Each structure stands twice: as C-alpha cells, then as structure tokens.
C-alpha cells in the first residue's frame, strides 16, 4: 500500500482474525503508511471516501481519525474474541462427538487420492514423478501427496 491509500473492507472481522501481536503489527503498518480503513460496519470511516470540504479542518480530521482508530481496535478485539469462541466451541463439539463415535472427520477426496496413487507409480521408462511434480500437477499440497503415499505403503500397496 502507498501512503494515503484507502483500504476498503466489507467487514472489520475479515481484517482482524489475527492474534493480538499480529493485529498490532498490521495496525502499526496501517498507521505508519497513513492508510485509511473504510468498512461497511464502521460508518464513521466513510468520511475517508469524501473529498475534504472547507468545513473539514485539521481539528475535525484528527478527532475523526482518533474515533475511527478506537472503533477499529474495539471491533478488532470483538471479532477476534468471537472467532476464538467459535473455534473453541467447535473443537469441544468435535471432542464430544468423537467420544460418542459420531465424528468421523472430513471424507477423503477419493478421486484425488487415486490420481496421486496413479502418478506415484513408476513410468514405463523407469522414472517417477517427484512429490512436488505430483502436487503441482494435481493442484494439491505436498503434505497431501505424502500422506496418501504413506497410507498406500502402509496398506502394502507398493509403488
């Protein structure tokens, strides 16, 4: 971002699901670059979109910046707490479901797994694709390729 740019966000919570330390770093960067944050859920920030009129003096500008900064910090803290609460409740629910035998986790993408297995086999000329090449070809992560290959080896299906 350049100095004086406007950062337009739909909702402050999209910007602030960071740890306190990370939010502090981002907020410092925003302030040092004098980037103006405008958000639908922060109506006082709309002033940044309007050209400064003659009635907008330096005093009013300082007050609005202070108010927006304070409100942004409050909304950031609220969004972060809400996000953490939802994550905790979700993990508690998963833990309870696991003890009852009802939670199985996300189902594996069998089509992707089969493609990984196919590409992991030796070619006719004796060459094999690397983990990076397979991941890139299938638009998936290296860890997914490794996990599928490890699972195949465990099931005695050699490549």
Average pLDDT rounded to a whole number, residues 140-149: 93
Q: Computed over its alpha carbons, how large is the radius of gyration of the chain?
A: 25
Q: Could you tell me if residue 139 is inside a domain?
A: yes
Same domain, 114 and 93: no
With 0-12 / 13-18 / 19 or more C-beta atoms within 10 angstroms meaning exposed / middle / buried, residue 81 is exposed
Model confidence, pTM: 0.61
Confidence of residue 95 (pLDDT cuts 50, 70, 90): very high
CA 65, 66, 67, 72 dihedral sign is positive
In total, how many domains does the chain have? 2
Q: Are residues 12 and 71 in the same domain?
A: yes
Residue 41 CA to residue 59 CA, distance in Å, equals 24
Residues 15 and 81 in one domain: yes
* Domain assignment present for 57: yes
Q: Does 159 fall in a domain?
A: no
CA–CA gap between residue 114 and residue 47 (Å, rounded): 55
Quote the mean pLDDT of the chain. 85
Domain of residue 136: give its range. Answer: 110-154
pLDDT band at 159 (very low <50, low <70, confident <90, very high): low
Which has more pLDDT, 124 or 117? 117
Q: Are residues 95 and 121 in the same domain?
A: no
Task: Let me know whether 115 and 95 are in one domain.
Answer: no
Question: Is residue 1 included in any domain, yes or no?
Answer: no
Convert 1-17 to b/e letters by CB count within 10 Å (16 or more is b). eeeeeeeebeebbebbe
Asked if residue 124 and residue 65 are part of one domain, the reply reads: no
Instruction: Report the chain's terminal Cα–Cα distance, integer Å.
Output: 49
pLDDT, one tens digit per residue, over 4-36 is 888 888 888 877 777 888 888 988 988 898 888
At residue 51, the pLDDT reads 67
User: 90 and 15 share a domain?
Assistant: yes
- 92 shares its domain with 45: yes
């Amino acid at each position: 971002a350049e100095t004086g740019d406007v950062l337009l966000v739909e909702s402050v919570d999209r910007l602030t699901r960071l740890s306190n330390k990370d939010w502090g770093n981002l907020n410092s960067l925003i302030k040092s670059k004098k980037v103006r944050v405008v958000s639908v859920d922060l109506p006082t920030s709309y002033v940044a979109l309007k050209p400064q009129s003659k009635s907008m003096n330096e005093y009013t500008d300082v007050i609005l910046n202070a108010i927006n900064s304070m409100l942004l910090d409050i909304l950031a803290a609220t969004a972060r707490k809400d996000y953490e609460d939802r994550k905790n409740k979700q993990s508690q629910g998963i833990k309870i479901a696991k003890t009852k035998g009802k939670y199985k986790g996300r189902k594996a993408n069998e089509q992707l797994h089969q493609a990984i297995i196919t590409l992991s086999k030796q070619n006719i000329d004796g060459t094999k694709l690397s983990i990076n090449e397979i991941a890139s070809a299938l638009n998936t992560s290296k860890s997914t390729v490794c996990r599928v290959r490890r699972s195949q080896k465990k099931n005695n299906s050699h490549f």
